Homo-oligomer: A and B are copies of this chain.
């Protein structure tokens, strides 16, 4: 059809203006046809023109987006004035300035990690103690998961923010120790068990064997020389969930880099809190009912109103946590592997997004759950489903317990990712897939958090004076 049409009308695309030579009298006299200034051609936006340069449209959308939000900020400022108050933020973490339950709990987490080294040393020494070791390790991990949950759920003095932080630290340590135990078992299985009494000697010889690695940075440690408290605590501090004996290290610690990341951390943290105080809270305050009692049109409007600031805060949080915080920590520890995220913004499916936005968690799930499951004969989709169900449990655990509300929205949202992704993959792909990922990113995960936050806020806004102190 297009070809047929093209033949009929003799399309000639000339992006530059035809320049008739009308200012030359000689030309006019020689050939009056040169006075013409029209040639046959299609409009650029016509289907047949073949024109597809719309670079400016990107700038257009950015300009409109910025202007729209400048307007919204100004409108917000005119209506509410300046609500941002960094001092009030302290009350989110502390109810009583003389009781710091979250800090004590986080400090205690260090002790829960300590047994790991001794369990591993014991397993290294005593032959046939694998089953005892497994029991001890499971007990250690079980305590790491249940202790903070019970404490946060039962303690009245702890705030949701403090509780979330505590739970987060404990679950990170649990995941790290899981990796630590598994990697050390791989080494035990891979190297011959030492004869009793010669272990000291062999350990010495393995130290002698340690050599400079290919980058000439530092000496390589061999198993079992890694079973030291110092080595474990470096791993616990390092911005990764996967244990390995010799992490890539930098020679130097760049001070300018640390300062830049630190300034980003401070600034973005206050920006996030400012956006919450200035933009989200007044909107939540306006709608003082639980989600299920609101009329559907108003609910849609309400969700859309909160989705955008929520999404911005999520984006800032992403940069703040995965770029500023983790890079700052890595630089301080001279930790070389900075792959904390990949280009999830280009992901064209939900699964690709999940495998790119949080690389430490993705790598842990891939190395310690997905691949071992494949190795034990499960198929790809079973392994993938297990990974997502496990993530769903982690998310629900992290959110439900500090808020003391079990809604299971987060759990079902995460569990629905795999079937949803299968469906999407069959229907859409490429650029359209990327658009769908963005739509679900804007409306999905931040909204999940919002659903909890909204209900919590509605439940507590009259009872709890510290909330009122923070928000109004």
Instruction: Name A residues whose Cβ lies closer than 8 Å to a Cβ of B.
Output: 5, 8-10, 14-15, 17, 20, 22-23, 25, 28-29, 32-33, 35-46, 51, 53-65, 67-71, 74-75, 78, 183, 186-187, 189-191, 215, 220, 222-223, 240, 242, 244-248, 250-252, 254, 297-298, 300-301, 304-305, 307-308, 311, 319, 322-323, 326-327, 336-343, 345-347, 355, 359, 362-363, 366-367, 371-372, 374-375, 431, 434-435, 437-439, 442-443
Contact = CB atoms under 8 A, between A and B. Distances in A.
**Residue from A23, A42, A298, A355 having most chain B Cβ neighbours under 10 A:** A23
A297 B32 CA distance: 60
A66 to B, nearest CB: 9
Given A23-B375, A43-B341, A240-B38, A56 B347 contact: yes
Given A43-B338, A75-B301, 4 more contacts: A29-B191, A32-B190, A35-B245, A54-B343
Contact of A38 (B42, B242, B347): B242
Contacts of A35: 183, 186-187, 244-245
Contacts of A46: 323, 327, 338
Contacts of A58: 58, 61
A61 to B, nearest CB: 4
Contact of A355 (B17, B44, B254): B17
Nearest to A66: B439
A431 B60 CA distance: 11
A345 B60 contact: yes
Contact of A59 (B54, B242, B435): B435
A327 B244 contact: no
